[in-house]
Structure 1
Amino acid sequence: MLRIATLNVNGVRAAHRRGFGDWLAGRGCDVVALQEVRAPVGALPPEAFGDYHVVYEPGQIAGRNGVAVLTRERPAGVRTWDAEVLVRAPGEEHLHTQAAPDGVPLARGLGRHAHEGRYVEVDLAEAPVTVASLYLPKGGLPAHLQVPHRMREAPDGGARYERKMRFMAAFARQLSRTRRAAAQRGREFLLIGDLNVAHTCLDVARWRQSRTSEGFLPEEREWIGARLSPRTLVDVVRALHPGTEGPYSWWSWLGQAYEKDVGWRIDYHLATPRLARTAVSAVVDREHRGVRLSDHAPVVVDYDLR
């Protein structure tokens, strides 16, 4: 059994104060992908990742982004988008980063994001699987939907929206290349992380009110749908929970969204079909000992590879 989790920690230091280290030590995961770690290498909490090997891509934007993959065994391979990563075994204390071996050539348009700390992938040593952690930009609203008195952020004329859509177009090309490259290495491929898009009405608690919200715009939802098919990638959690609302993985800190389960499902396991068929359970750890680790919750899937 291979237990794999993804969690947007919304700051690894804040998550540790809420009990992330305790959750990590006790959950029994073989692989954990993290997003929005938001800490330079030198600012990581002591023993930040417990008994795990860590591949950590902090990015170069202070206080933002950053991704990681934690594994029980030393990864057999590490790749990122032309950025340096920290590769460290349990008990090691070194802080120097190193260049990750080049993967497939970057798709047109991704070069501008290569040092933002949005993507890292590893080849597992214990199974023929490549696992990638992705943090897709949150984005914003197109200009024609921006109404200043209804927005928490200042209107930007659609700049954040356009940036997200350009990223998604470029990443779609990159994802096809990466998936095929994994297959050429004899490996299944698993993309996990915060995609900042809810795919269907089952993935947003109040979907009618959210139809003009970033993350649930028709073009964003169509993008997710275009990535999925029985021959390319499968939404593992939805396959195990067909026809049900949620399970949600993100709730606003505002109001009583969490208490009332008014959430969004934006954290995914997207697996190649053969790997997806081995998934036997998918759960969302809403809280740990009564405490939320983040505004997101871990999405944990068990894969029976035997």
Structure 2
Amino acid sequence: MPRSTDAFWRRAYAEAVRIASVNVNGIRATHRRGFADWMASRDCDVLTLQEVRCTVADLPEDAFGGYHAVYDPGSISGRNGVAILTRRPVAAVRTWGADVVVRSPGEPATWVPSDDPGTLARGISRYATEGRYIEADLADVPLTVATLYLPKGGLPEHLQRPGRMREAPDGGAKYRRKMHFLDAFARQLDRARRTARANGREFLLTGDLNIAHTRQDVAAWRRSQQAEGFLPEERDWISRQLSPRRLVDVVRRLHPDADGPYTWWSWLGQAYAKDAGWRIDYHLASPGLARRAVCAEVDRERRGVRLSDHAPVVVDYDL
């Protein structure tokens, strides 16, 4: 990073900047459980959301609180949808070609074209209209923040056993689609990270990656080794994105020996009560930003109520 940019970071803030990633699993449902109250009390500077799952016309009046928002609802009704909420309007916003919704406090939502994302990596344009990815350049600090909702996927055909699956066997179609997405997104992620660095910006990827990386990230890891989200090839993909010179798993850096902290629990059974969860929601930061992370927490509930089947991942960065 250029020295002038590093000096900017040292003097930019006297206090930590708080960034949270939340898979809301439906913005209307999570608001009924107290999301607006959580947003107000947590006082985040940046919020990234996944699975907003709402058309623009159906967004609640206070969907994004008092934040400026950029939102890609995607084209699949009732599914996906990602957003970035900030204190000030962002300097630029990029998707993989889809238009985005811009909404400021007290003003109607408007559709705007994405800023130029540059040349997209091979294979990524297939997912351009699904509402899975947004990245934005913050206006007040040299930081690019991205939010991702990665496909859940499925099992390869040889692991599909009728009668032991909640869904009907599909011959491995969802598995193959996820692996294609991972290949394409790895190339796109590398471009986004390098572009941010070339522009003197740190880079942060947040979101629901639908993959648990290590044994520490799944409570029941022994019996989950042939489960979607914890397959060896999925875990290897996470490993390839991480290195001291590329991206750093911020929560694991701050909690190196902890089980979890888990971020997702099934609604079924006693998984939540027993904390039998998975850590599949991440902050993956460029090395300079990762070094500035001072506190990482998972908000399991708000006043005794779960906001979603996921929990917010909140990190303070001392800038």
1:104 and 1:181 in contact (8 A); partners too? no
Answering whether residue 251 of structure 2 is matched by residue 237 of structure 1, we say yes
| 4+ residue runs over 3 A deviation | none
Work out which of the residue numbers 5, 10, 17 in structure 1 matches 2:32.
17
1:280 and 1:303 in contact (8 A); partners too? yes
Gaps of 5+ in 2: 1-15
TM-score by length of 2: 0.94
- The alignment of Structure 1 onto Structure 2 pairs a total of residues equal to 304
Q: Deviations over 1:216-256 (max 9, x none)?
A: 00000000000000000000000000021000000000001
What letter corresponds to residue 106 of structure 1 in structure 2? L
Work out which of the residue numbers 229, 234, 258 in structure 1 matches 2:272.
258
Partner of 2:187: 173
Q: Distance in 2 between matches of 1:37 and 1:12?
A: 5
Work out which of the residue numbers 200, 206, 210 in structure 1 matches 2:224.
210
What letter corresponds to residue 161 of structure 1 in structure 2? Y
Answering whether residue 113 of structure 2 is matched by residue 91 of structure 1, we say no
Answering whether residue 80 of structure 2 is matched by residue 65 of structure 1, we say yes
TM-score by length of 1: 0.98
Helix, strand or coil at the partner of 2:47: strand
1:104 and 1:178 in contact (8 A); partners too? no
Work out which of the residue numbers 3, 23, 27 in structure 2 matches 1:8.
23
Q: Distance in 2 between matches of 1:102 and 1:114?
A: 13
Partner of 2:153: 139
Report how far residue 104 of structure 1 moved: 2.6
Work out which of the residue numbers 10, 31, 42 in structure 1 matches 2:46.
31
C-alpha RMSD over aligned residues = 0.6
Could you tell which deviates more after superposition, 169-178 or 104-113?
Answer: 104-113
What letter corresponds to residue 167 of structure 2 in structure 1? E
1:203 and 1:265 in contact (8 A); partners too? yes
Report how far residue 29 of structure 1 moved: 0.2
Q: Distance in 2 between matches of 1:283 and 1:51?
A: 23
Q: Distance in 2 between matches of 1:180 and 1:104?
A: 12
1:104 and 1:177 in contact (8 A); partners too? no
1:203 and 1:246 in contact (8 A); partners too? yes
Q: Distance in 2 between matches of 1:28 and 1:46?
A: 19
Partner of 2:58: 43
Work out which of the residue numbers 189, 201, 210 in structure 2 matches 1:196.
210
Answering whether residue 313 of structure 2 is matched by residue 299 of structure 1, we say yes
What letter corresponds to residue 184 of structure 2 in structure 1? A
Identity %: 69
Helix, strand or coil at the partner of 2:57: helix
Alignment of 1:274-289 (within 5 A): 274-289=288-303
Answering whether residue 117 of structure 2 is matched by residue 103 of structure 1, we say yes
What letter corresponds to residue 119 of structure 1 in structure 2? Y
Gaps of 5+ in 1: none
Partner of 2:3: none
Q: Distance in 2 between matches of 1:142 and 1:91?
A: 48
What letter corresponds to residue 211 of structure 1 in structure 2? Q
